[in-house]
Structure 1
Amino acid sequence: MTRENSSTITLLIVLTALIQVVFIFADTKDAPHRAVTCFAERYFQMNPQMSQLLCDKLAGDETENIVQTYLQMAAVQASERGYSPAFMKKKLYDVRTETLQADSKSAVVRITGELKRGINPLFSYVGKIFFLGETVPFERTAQVVFEGGKWKVCGGFFNPVDIG
């Protein structure tokens, strides 16, 4: 290999590394569709940390906490069916988002995908591979607001039908 070829290869490797750094920073930028996707995953996994992605209007206070109410409703429905609350978890697949309307302080995002019962991660992946369990199409339009330097969901979720 000549000296000219080795410097070309070195330059190519350095440029590739720089481009990767740019892509990494672009990917970590907060955006309305990312907030909706992250919230939806936590929402269907019954993760109490979804409250971190809720706007102040929905988050409420300790006496009127919509997340705790939702999780309690799920636990009651699970116990009525004779299951633990973990049975109510769902896994979101094939997620697609589309920003329908956006400005600097609010946005409307449509999220679509498929839901499959996600008692534990292994069950949902094996079920997906071998076509076990029911897959339900999912579509929702969510309102998102820019609050406290982050995009937060402010409507479009917390439907009792989602629990079952």
Structure 2
Amino acid sequence: MIFEMLLLFGQVPVVDLNELPKDRREAIEDFHHEDVMLPAVCSSPELQRLQGETYRLAKVNGQQAWDVARTMFCGTSKDSKRYLGQHMPHKVTYLSLIVGEVVNVGDELVARSSVEMLQGRAWETDLRRESEKLVFEYTIDGLCRGSFALRYVQQSWLLVQVSEGCI
């Protein structure tokens, strides 16, 4: 959000990342947090780590669970959006909260078309199993965390929940 505001007011130079060499592109896409360079979720090592955890925790049809998660994290195209839509119910639970405050905590059903892919803008990823769900958590920026949950329903992994919370 802060980056978008700076961009809006012309304080941040716009760079087409595709025009940069791969090593420079990855450095820019990585995230500085507390003086540590964190790899973006769509960097090769991070993808490999998450893929292995997904297979281990999914227990059934791990490849499909991974395909849905990878699309949510890294997808950018209309085909990716279409694929993700095929792996969601018509309505998805959206949880919103402000971390550290009890106010503005919300839980609502939203149309699957309103769920946005992260397009590689996620860091500090984590994965856990909560009964029937795989829950992927991530940092959006230095102040916000997000998550999405997959549930295995009728032999298919569906993205059933998205949440965001900021300090």
Q: TM class, shorter-chain normalised?
A: 0.3 to 0.5
Q: Which has the higher strand share?
A: 2
TM-score (norm 1): 0.35
Q: Which has the higher helix share?
A: 1
Identify the structure with bigger relative contact order (alpha carbons < 8 Å, sequence gap 6+): 1
TM-score (norm 2): 0.35
